């Protein structure tokens, strides 16, 4: 018996037809949609399951993925049932925590068990520090337990993101799904395809995910020089020119996307930490390379499986969607071509969570501008 799935899409304000898709029949239902849709509490109430042993995750996005199609307005519902895998949900709100690092530690601690094999993360993408959340999870979870996931999105608005488990979605929520099984194969990979250019520069002044200086010079002013006329379109135009950041005492490079700029302090806020002492280099997009990277990520997932995957969760960055534009489905098609007959579901995010493909470590990192894929097979 394999993992069984069912998938459907519905429009905003369209009532769910229980004969077509009944959330109470599925062990886990993932619902991806726009923030505006999830702000309608009366509409969302129909997705709250009647039984506490059924789990519904709602997550706002910057675009929804169903098979190879990408949607902006429709809700994508994917029902998932495992035969030999148990689920446990841990959740918190960042306002109830000291910081994102503590939130990660708490969530990981609630899920610990000898049968735990993997954790899926769906987090607020606006007020949660994704890098610190990942660090907290890494601190507590044992080395034999991997975790992947992503940060919720809000199109390219960067205003407010919403996540929920079995309730009406709200801001600040972080959901962690523990998967417990001895018959579940998990594959994962993350790849970007952006091309670095220009010199390496040392981060000489930063606080957490806020960057002030590169090589002792104001980082925002330097960045604007590279952007030229596109500087007038910040922060949106920054999605086309992320930074490659090589952490201190590490050979691992992570891509960091700008979330906002502050003209008063001449600073840039990124989706992940940019620590002092790290080396930074600008990157730019190449559509063919971006699509090829999605295919490479799918290929990387296959290395974890003895048989074909039955389910794939795709979390790709909002920046990739904007860059690919009318060609956005080329990357989902590339994934499908590589993985074969598999159910694809997912969304465009404000940050992707996965162990780095260029690192031998199983510890996860927060990525930007990547296609991150998690694949599942139940033996």
Report, as an integer, the average pLDDT of 111-119: 98
Q: Which residue has the higher pLDDT, 357 or 141?
A: 141
Q: Which residue has the higher pLDDT, 235 or 219?
A: 219
Count of CB atoms situated within 10 Å of the CB of 165: 20
Q: What is the pLDDT of residues 221-251, one digit of tens each?
A: 999 998 899 999 888 888 889 999 998 877 7
Rounded to whole angstroms, how far apart are CA atoms 104 and 107?
5
Q: What is the pLDDT of residues 160-169, one digit of tens each?
A: 999 999 999 9
Count of CB atoms situated within 10 Å of the CB of 277: 11
Q: What is the pLDDT of residues 253-295, one digit of tens each?
A: 899 988 889 999 999 998 888 999 999 999 998 999 999 999 9
Count how many Cα atoms sit within 13 Å of the Cα of residue 10 in the half-sphere of its side chain.
18
Show the tokens assigned to 10: 């519905």
The SS3 call for residue 237 is helix
Rounded to whole angstroms, how far apart are CA atoms 8 and 269?
37
* 45: DSSP letter: G
For the four alpha carbons of 90, 93, 97 and 100, in that order, the dihedral sign comes to positive
- Asked if residue 360 has pLDDT above 80, the reply is no
- Asked if residue 7 has pLDDT above 70, the reply is yes
Q: What percent of the chain has pLDDT over 90?
A: 85
- pLDDT for 133 equals 97
- pLDDT for 314 equals 98
Show Cβ contacts of residue 136 under 8 Å, excluding neighbours closer than 6 positions: 100, 101, 102, 103, 104, 105, 106, 107, 108
- pLDDT for 38 equals 97
Element at 317 (helix H, strand E)? strand 311-317
Supply the Cα-derived Rg of the chain in whole angstroms: 20
- Asked if residue 87 has pLDDT above 90, the reply is yes
Residues 151 and 271: beta-carbon distance below 8 Å: yes
- Asked if residue 362 has pLDDT above 90, the reply is no
Residues 66 and 9: beta-carbon distance below 8 Å: yes
Q: What is the pLDDT of residues 321-335, one digit of tens each?
A: 999 999 999 999 999
- Asked if residue 372 has pLDDT above 80, the reply is yes
214 phi and psi angles, rounded to 5 deg: -125, 125
Show the tokens assigned to 8: 């459907």
- pLDDT for 164 equals 98
Q: What is the pLDDT of residues 14-45, one digit of tens each?
A: 999 988 999 999 999 999 999 999 999 999 99
């Amino acid at each position: 018996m394999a993992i069984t799935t069912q998938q459907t899409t519905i429009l905003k304000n369209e009532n769910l037809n229980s004969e077509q898709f009944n959330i109470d029949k599925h062990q886990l239902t993932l619902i991806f949609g726009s923030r505006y849709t999830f702000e309608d509490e009366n509409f969302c109430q129909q997705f709250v399951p009647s039984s506490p042993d059924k789990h519904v995750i709602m997550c706002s996005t910057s675009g929804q993925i169903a098979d190879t199609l990408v949607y902006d307005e429709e809700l994508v519902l994917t029902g998932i049932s495992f035969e030999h895998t148990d689920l446990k949900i841990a959740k918190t709100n960042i306002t109830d925590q000291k910081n994102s690092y503590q939130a990660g530690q708490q969530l990981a601690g609630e899920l610990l068990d000898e049968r735990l094999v993997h954790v899926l993360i769906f987090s607020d993408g606006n007020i949660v520090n994704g890098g610190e959340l990942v660090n907290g999870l890494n601190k507590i979870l044992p080395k034999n337990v991997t975790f992947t996931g992503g940060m919720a999105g809000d199109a390219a608005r960067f205003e407010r993101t919403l996540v929920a488990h079995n309730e009406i979605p709200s801001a600040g929520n972080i959901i962690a799904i523990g998967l417990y099984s001895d018959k579940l194969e998990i594959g994962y990979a993350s790849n970007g395809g952006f091309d670095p250019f220009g010199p390496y520069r040392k981060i000489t002044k930063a606080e957490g995910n806020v960057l002030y200086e590169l090589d002792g010079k104001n980082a925002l002013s330097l960045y604007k020089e590279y952007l030229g006329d596109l500087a007038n379109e910040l922060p949106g135009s920054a999605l086309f020119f992320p930074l490659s950041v090589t952490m201190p005492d590490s050979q691992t490079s992570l891509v960091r996307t700008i979330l906002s700029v502050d003209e008063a302090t001449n600073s840039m806020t990124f989706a992940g930490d940019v620590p002092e002492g790290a080396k930074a280099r600008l990157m730019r997009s190449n559509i063919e390379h971006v699509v090829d990277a999605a295919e490479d990520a799918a290929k990387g997932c296959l290395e974890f499986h003895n048989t074909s995957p039955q389910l794939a969760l795709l979390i790709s960055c909002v920046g990739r969607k904007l860059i690919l534009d009318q060609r956005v489905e080329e990357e989902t098609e590339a994934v499908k071509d590589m993985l074969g007959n598999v159910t694809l579901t997912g969304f465009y995010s404000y940050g992707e969570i996965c162990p780095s493909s260029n690192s031998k470590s199983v510890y996860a990192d927060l990525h930007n501008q990547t296609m991150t894929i998690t694949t599942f097979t139940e033996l």
